Chains A and B, each alone.
Chain A
């Protein structure tokens, strides 16, 4: 009996990447800049979103897609209260958002009324890294309370990020957190990463992030 070996050489995430590319094209056509916010639970995703909405609305029209493992839409409600058009995705226990979920959520939003779309991923430091959603930038939020060894322990997340927001820097005096060691790990993984050190509680450093984001949004706007 003879058997045949078939060369496949196919990336396992290819199907997701194709849908992500379609999502991105749709956002481009509508002139909407989109970011994928990723972090461990409790790093401050929702707090950063609140700060961002406060700073940018109403000049920038913002939509939100909020991924959660349960039907509870508390985060989406916090976003809606702060003035964003929000869509909630229940991932049904899935630990990350995938491009097809975002495609569905995009259909529930009127993109022509938006300038910026914030996709809040499920709180998780591993799984969201591999899944492109079709956004223009992947923004990772880390907090100093997580410890300075995280780039070395969760390389895939730092590799995937275009922007790193290091939150809760107001707590640095109370922690054994070696900022040089942490940032060295980040740079080794992703030399071109954009880093913002902030405190969502005190507002320190937030304006640099807002300026960067505002610039990205206006570059994407249809003229």
Chain B
């Protein structure tokens, strides 16, 4: 259930950027979520559907881009997926690995329509 406060923060970020851009409507939101960040798409979507109501972002489509967790071996430099290192680095067996991807959790971009463009499209 930690997706509720997360989605509130998401909405704040989206509305702030939409206002700065003079947007009348937000149509798409592009999110980047790393495998290790433990946020669930369906939960974010669930809260989003309620929270976005009555804002310029109402009905905006959420797009989830997932980043697989990846580690770099500090002994041999080999890059491996998180799922491959249960016994250490698959190349040299070292336990000294560093997480280099998979903790992302950010808004990459939003797609908006400006007021003029919305009126123009209706004319």
Query: Could you tell me which A residues sit within 8 Å of B by CB distance?
Result: 1-16, 94-96, 98, 126-127, 129-130, 152, 155-156, 159, 184-185, 187-189, 191
Contact A7 B103 (CB under 8 A): no
- Asked if B50 is an interface residue, CB under 8 A from chain A, the answer is no
A164 CB, nearest partner CB in chain B, Å: 16
Q: A12-B106, A95-B1, A187-B95 are in contact. Are A6 and B112 (CB under 8 A)?
A: yes
Contacts of A2 in B (CB 8 A): 117
Chain A residue nearest to B35 (CB atoms) is A155
Interface residues of B in 71-123 (CB under 8 A from A): 71, 74, 82, 85-86, 88, 95-99, 103, 105-114, 117, 120-121
Q: A94-B5, A188-B85 are in contact. Are A129 and B13 (CB under 8 A)?
A: no
Contacts of A14 in B (CB 8 A): 9, 13
9 A-B pairs whose Cβ atoms sit less than 8 Å apart in the complex: A6-B110, A10-B17, A10-B107, A12-B107, A13-B9, A15-B9, A94-B5, A188-B88, A191-B74
Contact B2 A130 (CB under 8 A): yes
B29 CB, nearest partner CB in chain A, Å: 9
In the bound complex, CA of A188 to CA of B70 (Å): 12
Contacts of B121 in A (CB 8 A): 1
B108 CB, nearest partner CB in chain A, Å: 6
- Asked if B37 is an interface residue, CB under 8 A from chain A, the answer is yes
A6-B17, A94-B5 given; name 9 further pairs at CB < 8 Å. A1-B120, A3-B111, A4-B114, A6-B109, A12-B105, A155-B36, A155-B82, A156-B36, A159-B36
Contact A7 B108 (CB under 8 A): yes
In the bound complex, CA of A2 to CA of B114 (Å): 9
Q: Which of B5, B107, B108, B117 contacts A1 (CB 8 A)?
A: B117
- Asked if B27 is an interface residue, CB under 8 A from chain A, the answer is yes
Q: A8-B107, A10-B13 are in contact. Are A189 and B99 (CB under 8 A)?
A: yes
A68 CB, nearest partner CB in chain B, Å: 15
Chain A residue nearest to B120 (CB atoms) is A1
In this complex, the member of A7, A12, A185 whose beta carbon has the largest number of chain B beta carbons within 10 angstroms is A12
Contacts of A15 in B (CB 8 A): 9, 12
Contact A126 B2 (CB under 8 A): yes
